[in-house]
Copies of this chain bind each other. A is one copy, B any other.
Amino acid sequence: MAHYNKGANAERELIHSLHAQGFAVLRVAGSGVSPLPSPDVVALKHGKILAFECKAWKGKYLAIPVETFNDEVNWAETAGADFFVAWKVPHKGWLFVSAKHFHNAGKNFMISLDDARKHSANLLVIEGLQSTIQQ
């Protein structure tokens, strides 16, 4: 339950951040309820579509089951959305990583924390509020 709440809190934090930047934001109904695989959070602004798989995870590697990962990537492609895995590293902050930076490790798509740090996009850049990444 603690783990669930941590994830839910991270999701809420991401939603409020996107909302504060003027996006229309959706939290998607749980996969147990909806039959259609899709990302956790979707943010929209004047036709720009961002889709996020949201993970709160303290560890050296992040793993996402292959089927989930592929479903979400396909969903985003159909929608015309930019897809990111939003990795909240507890007490550190957020990393936003495109699907292309994950590697298929059989059962899961994976990325190391080091690689995620290297490839993470700035949320302000993702949101189109900033054209280059601040150093």
Chain A residues engaging chain B, CB cutoff 8 angstroms: 12, 15-16, 19, 22-30, 33-36, 38, 42, 44-49, 75-76, 78-81
Contacts and interface: CB of A to CB of B under 8 A. Distances in A.
Given A26-B36, A28-B29, A45-B79, 10 more contacts: A19-B36, A22-B78, A26-B28, A27-B34, A42-B42, A44-B79, A46-B78, A47-B49, A47-B79, A47-B80
| Nearest 7 pairs of A and B residues by beta carbon | A44-B79, A47-B80, A24-B79, A24-B78, A27-B29, A46-B80, A27-B34
B24 A76 contact: yes
Contacts of A49: 44, 47, 49
Given A23-B78, A38-B25, A47 B44 contact: no
A22 B75 CA distance: 10
A42 B27 contact: no
Contact of A27 (B24, B33, B45): B33
Contacts of A24: 38, 75-76, 78-79, 81
Contacts of A19: 36
A90 B46 CA distance: 34
A15 B44 contact: no
A81 to B, nearest CB: 7
Given A15-B36, A38-B24, A78 B45 contact: yes
